Amino acid sequence: MMKQGKRLFMGAVLASVFAAAPALAHEEHSHGAADHANLTDDRKALKLEPSERAMLLIEMRQFLNGIQVMTESLSRDDLKAVANAAKPLGRAAMHEVPDSMKAKLPKEFKQFALAVHGGFDQIAMDAESLGDTKHTQKQVADLLKNCVSCHNTFQIQVLPEKKQ
């Protein structure tokens, strides 16, 4: 009786874990090396030239670097350092993207990008004005949802570089 109760409980826990992370459950449904040969990447393709891809990936690594510094600063309740790391990743950074590249990016992609850049701005403002670690932690957690959503939706496909 006890044993069955425990098993049911674990079943419920597992069910809720998968329910909470539908994207993960979806991507981890294959098992073993054999299946990997048939794995396809069905995310929508952004068709970018090599230099555009390089630019996007530089920005991405800056995002990850910023998140790393912010998480570390939060562990020390250093909200000033959080603001300093978040600021350069805000909306102002979007002006660095050339118009020719912007024209290739789908609306949905731009919405995720705007949410993330705007999120960094908001985090920087609140970290400075409120100085509340828990509040900022929650904002960072919400921001990361946009990173996850965009990565689940898009991949890059490299086009031949255009002749200048």
- The nearer residue to ligand HEC, 16 or 100, going by C-beta atoms, is 100
- The nearer residue to ligand HEC, 14 or 60, going by C-beta atoms, is 60
Interface ranges with ligand HEC (CB under 6 A): 46, 57, 60-61, 63-64, 67, 109, 112-113, 116, 143, 146-147, 150-151, 154-156
To ligand HEC, the closest distance from the beta carbon of 135 in angstroms equals 18
To ligand HEC, the closest distance from the beta carbon of 17 in angstroms equals 23
Q: Give every CB contact of residue 163 below 8 A, 6+ residues apart in sequence.
A: none
To ligand HEC, the closest distance from the beta carbon of 119 in angstroms equals 8
- The nearer residue to ligand HEC, 67 or 79, going by C-beta atoms, is 67
Give me Rg for the CA atoms of the chain: 20
To ligand HEC, the closest distance from the beta carbon of 101 in angstroms equals 13
